[in-house]
Every structure is written in C-alpha cells, then in structure tokens.
Amino acid sequence: MKEQEIQAIQQLLSTPKKIAIIPHRSPDGDAMGSTLGLYHFLLKNNHQPVVVSPNEFPDFLAWMPGSETVKIFEKDKKNCTKVLEEADLVFTLDFNALHRVGEMENVLNKLTVPFVMIDHHQSPDDYAVVTYSDTAFGSTCEMLHNFICFLGKKSDIDKTIGTCIYTGILTDSGSFRFPKTTGTTHRIIADLIDLGVENTEIPTLLYDNSSYGRLQLLGKALQNMQVLANHKTAYTTLTQEELDFFNHVKGDTEGIVNYGLSIKGIVFTAIFIENAEEKIIKISFRSQGDFDVNLFAREHFNGGGHRNAAGGKSELSMEDTVNKFEDLVNKLKI
Ligand code: 5GP
Ligand code: MN
C-alpha cells in the first residue's frame, strides 16, 4: 500500500464508525477468514463492524470466531439492507467486482459512503477510495495481515484475529502448497502459531468433518471423471439428481475439483455442478503450471478467478456444457 492510501485509511478509522464488511457470494475460507479477521480488528478499535454475507456460508466454517454474528443478505434482505444503508464505511474483501455479491449489488450500488477493497484477484473494478489489490498474494488473509501491519497495529493481532487469518491462508494456499506460498507466508504463519493459533485443530475442523453422504458424493464425482489424456485434462460432473441422492448440503462439493490434478500428467481439470434452482451449471477450473484458467473462464464461461483456480457458469444443459468444454479443450495446446 502507498503511504497516501495508508493515511487515507487511518483518517477513515480515526473516529468510531459503523462499518459493513462484505465477502463474495458463497464465501470460502479466505472470504470468511478475511472478513471475520477484519471484524475482530475493527471491534478492538472501537468501531461497530458487521459482516454481511450475500448468502449462507458453508457449515465447515461455522466454528470460526464471530461467524455467529454474520448477517446473511439472502435470508434477511430487509435488515441487511438497513445495515448497509446505515454504514459509514464499507469494506469489500476477497473479490474484485461488485457483481460477485449477486443481488446485494443493487443495494451497494446506491450507497454513497466510501468503499475500501482488499483483494488478490485480477482486474479490480474501480469503486473504492482505497483499492489494496495485488495478485502476487495467495490469499486475502495474508493481505489483511499486511493491512493491519501497515496501519501500525500489528500488536492488535491476537489469537482470535490470527485464527481467522490462518484459516484463509491455509485454505486459499491449498494447505501451503500453491505457488504463491512464500517464505513470508510461512513466517506470518509461524507468528500466528506463536500467538496460540491452533494449527493442528483448524485443519481438522475444516477438512475432517465430512458426512458419509459427502464421501459418497465424492465417490460419485470420481466415478464420473473423464480423462482427455492427449490434452492433459480431466473433468467431472455432478447433476442435481446426484446431489439430491446423496443429500448434498452447501460445501459438500468444495475441493472435489482438485482430484483431477492428482492424476499423473493432468494439468487442467474442471467440475460441472448442476444447480436446478438457479438454472445454471456452476463450474470450477483448476490448473497446474502455465495454463491460465482465469482467461479460459473469462473467455468461454462467463467467469474468472486466478491463473490456477477460477470459476464460471453456463446456462446450457449439462450435456451441451460438457460438449462445449470438450470442443474447446480439443483445440487447446496444453
Ligand atoms: P471456486 O472454483 O473455488 O468456486 O473458485 C475459484 C476462484 O475463482 C476463486 O477465486 C473465486 O473467487 C473465482 N470464481 C469462482 N467462480 C467465479 C465466477 O463465476 N466469476 C468470477 N469472476 N470468479 C469466480
Ligand atoms: Mn481468496
């Protein structure tokens, strides 16, 4: 962050304020970690923060400190709109464009108070008075850590704030293995562990809490997997019928996309998940190395993300979506 930006934030935070903090729709560990980490930091600094999530967050994040205070826009539009309209300041975390909050965008567009963005996605939109955006970082949580340090408040980072930051760094780095994980990332993690952050308990809470149905759903997705070996690509599908059969709940499909990359030689993978209610196929893309799934998602599937992890959607049927994908892959040189 530039000195001028730091001063602008210090000025904004110099008197107690009502502050709305917003993650992207369907928040993941980094979105929840960064918004809740900021929530605890602002609370400590005498502000009145509220995290307003566009929709429900997954069960496997429900243990996070402060998650019980999170307001869910889709469940309570009236009250959430009021909270947003009464805010003196708005932070948007872990996303780069207001359409990533879904329907809540209409409310945000009408607000006249300053916005601050902290994010690590490409091509940030220009709606904030301060845009701390840098694709060099593996997580928004690592940036939140730096943000607090830039404000000269490193000593405010306690076990609670640290737990939130740890969670986002852990989940967005694929447990510290994605390429943007640096020595600095590990030094931050080391400091957090020294503060008492439970570095063995958190992965257990996040990853060892599957239902039997979730494992069976994973089994189904693995059975459905197709390998296009000539193009170093694997993909899988889950239809609404399959999701219903295994009593799917939000969060159950998280991470399944990565299994494609665990096949030797595969560097591009995708999962297509039918959402009958929204009448779309939601897609996740992952790659290893140079193949840019952000570009692929942007160009062909109305989405975006990062070079090695992106998402998109299709309004075609599952069959047509998969055919479109295969046609595109057949033209790719991976
Ligand atoms: P996931 O596949 O885990 O849902 O998302 C992977 C990455 O791509 C995340 O950084 C997420 O924010 C981004 N992403 C997922 N879906 C979309 C989408 O529809 N549009 C855009 N622009 N980004 C997405
Ligand atoms: Mn993130």
Q: How much distance in Å is there from the Cα of 273 to the middle of ligand 2?
A: 21
Query: Which of 93, 253, 306, 321 to mutate to test ligand 1, by most ligand atoms within 8 A of the CB atom?
Result: 306
Residues lying with their CB under 5 A of ligand 2, a single-atom ion: 30, 94, 140, 172
Q: How much distance in Å is there from the Cα of 163 to the middle of ligand 1?
A: 24
**Is-contact 267 291, C-beta < 8 A?**
yes
pLDDT score of 141: 99
pLDDT score of 250: 84
Q: Which ligand is nearest to the CA of 94?
A: 2
CATH number of 212-331: 3.10.310.30
Q: Outline where 89-238 has alpha helix (H).
A: 105-110, 140-150, 159-172, 183-194, 201-207, 212-223
Q: Which ligand is nearest to the CA of 251?
A: 1
Using CA positions, which residue lies closest to atom 13 of ligand 1? Answer: 305
| Residue ranges of E strands in the chain | 18-22, 48-53, 71-72, 89-93, 115-119, 130-133, 226-228, 233-238, 268-275, 280-287, 304-305, 309-314
pLDDT score of 155: 98
Query: Which of 25, 28, 281 to mutate to test ligand 1, by most ligand atoms within 8 A of the CB atom?
Result: 28
Specify the CATH class of 3-206 in words: alpha beta
Query: Which residues sit with their C-beta closer than 6 Å to ligand 1?
Result: 24, 284, 303-306, 309-313
Q: Which of 57, 62, 54 has the alpha carbon at shortest distance from 22? A: 54
Chain segment 116-162, per-residue pLDDT in tens: 999 999 999 999 999 999 999 999 999 999 999 999 999 999 999 99
Residue 262 clears pLDDT 90, i.e. is over it: yes
**Is-contact 303 312, C-beta < 8 A?**
yes
Written as six digits, the tokens of 171 are: 């989940």
Q: Which ligand is nearest to the CA of 168?
A: 2
Q: Which ligand is nearest to the CA of 100?
A: 1
Chain segment 214-245, per-residue pLDDT in tens: 999 999 999 999 999 999 999 999 999 999 99
Summarize the confidence of residues 51-57 as an average pLDDT.
Answer: 97
Using CA positions, which residue lies closest to atom 17 of ligand 1? Answer: 311
Residue 305 zone, left/alpha/beta (φ > 0; ψ -120 to 50; rest) = left
Query: Which of 55, 61, 92, 100 to mutate to test ligand 1, by most ligand atoms within 8 A of the CB atom?
Result: 100
Share of the chain above pLDDT 70, in %: 100
Query: Which of 121, 141, 283 to mutate to test ligand 1, by most ligand atoms within 8 A of the CB atom?
Result: 121
Using CA positions, which residue lies closest to atom 6 of ligand 1? Answer: 310
Give me the residue spans of the domains in the chain: 3-206, 212-331
pTM: 0.91
Residue carrying structure tokens 């001028």: 4
